[in-house]
Amino acid sequence: MKLKPLRDQVLVLTGATSGNGLEIAEEAVRRGAAVFLVARNAAALTELKARLERRGGRVAILAADVAEEGSAERIAEAAALAFGGFDSWINNAATGAYGTLEQVPVADHRRIFDVNYFGVLHGSLAAARHLRARGGGAIVNLGSMLSDRAILQQGPYCATKHAVQALTDTLRMELEREGANISVTLVKPAAIDTLFPEHARNYMDTPPRLPPPLYHPSVVADAVLFACAHPRRQLYAGGFGPFGSLGSLLAPRLTDLMMELVGTRMQQKRNDPGDPARRDNLYEPRADGSVRGSQNVLARRSSLALQIQKLPVSAWALPLAAAATLLARAALRRARRR
């Protein structure tokens, strides 16, 4: 499968006005791509468009909620009108809530699924229809290391990211079976220093935070933009991601116990609630326009694990084989104990 160089592409990007989406937009323009940016916050979109155009960027925008019926088709049509089509579609928009499954009302569960799962589903289908007619391209979905591992206090979000992983894998198989020249990649960020803890609805009695170690959104942008030009099945953005997923696979019960012991405390920041103007964007947009959150945290700006994944498959086939061998041995030991 051959994808265009990024500088020759038009990218559709949802959730573009803060965090990972904002960093992806800015880095895409720096690398020469044209961008069609989507978010709910019309004022933040307009400001972002003007800023990127002053840097020489080719930018068009549309204020839309990906959870609304028909929004994906409107996005595809508007992108085609603005640029004559697009080459990559990035499903980045997401929302969440902190609290136990009982604390979070069912209506909020549904809203999180409407954005995080159905938004990705409708976006992926609209992108696939357009890219088939165009002769190929890339669909990049934002999952999470929580696509592999659930944690306390974020049950609905974890459930959506598990669902996005299954959706992405199914879409990839269907497109491959029909011979479509469309790359489908799942990017799985670790904990990233974005506005998520401030934007999420909070049912805990303490301000939320993301558990360390944290990575800068530039790590996610690097993974996403690489996937737009290089077919990959999945990419972990942040070195803790693959290790956390592997630990859960090899020792799920031990990982459960560790989460029960420290999982809630690691997601609370009592003396640093962040910016009150950003709180709770579950149903309505709140203050946007920043790449990083306002809480005082350390964030790593690079990920060796990501750079290794970007190498040709032949370069890390041996380490992959070694990891598969370890997994097989662990499974055999468990079978013998049973």
User: Active-site residue among 98, 117, 157, 215?
Assistant: 157
Q: Which residue in 50, 95, 147 sits closest to 280, CA to CA? A: 95
Residues of the chain above pLDDT 70, percent: 94
157 is catalytic: yes
Q: How many CB atoms lie within 10 A of CB 162?
A: 18
pLDDT reported for residue 299: 93
The residue-averaged pLDDT of 284-308 equals 92
Mapped to the 3 state alphabet, what secondary structure does 50-112 carry? HHHHHCCCCEEEEECCCCCCCHHHHHHHHHHHHHCCCCEEEECCCCCEEECCCCCCHHHHHHH
Q: Average pLDDT in the 206-218 region?
A: 94
Residue 11 identity: L
Q: What is the mean pLDDT of residues 291-307?
A: 92
Check: CB of residue 16 under 8 Å from CB of residue 36. no
> In this predicted model, which residue has the larger pLDDT, 315 or 166?
166
Domains, in order of start, for the chain: 6-312 (3.40.50.720)
Q: Is the pLDDT score of 326 beyond 70?
A: no
State in Å, rounded, how far the first CA of the chain is from the last one.
Answer: 44
Q: Residue 108 in contact with residue 95, Cβ under 8 Å?
A: no
Contacts of 113 (CB under 8 A, 6+ apart): 156, 159, 160, 163
Q: Which residue has the tokens 């609805």?
A: 201
H or E stretch covering 235? strand 234-237
Angle 217-229/19-30 helices, nearest 10 degrees? 50
What does the alpha-carbon distance between residue 184 and residue 232 come to, in Å, rounded to a whole number?
Answer: 7
Instruction: Decide if pLDDT at 55 tops 90.
Output: yes
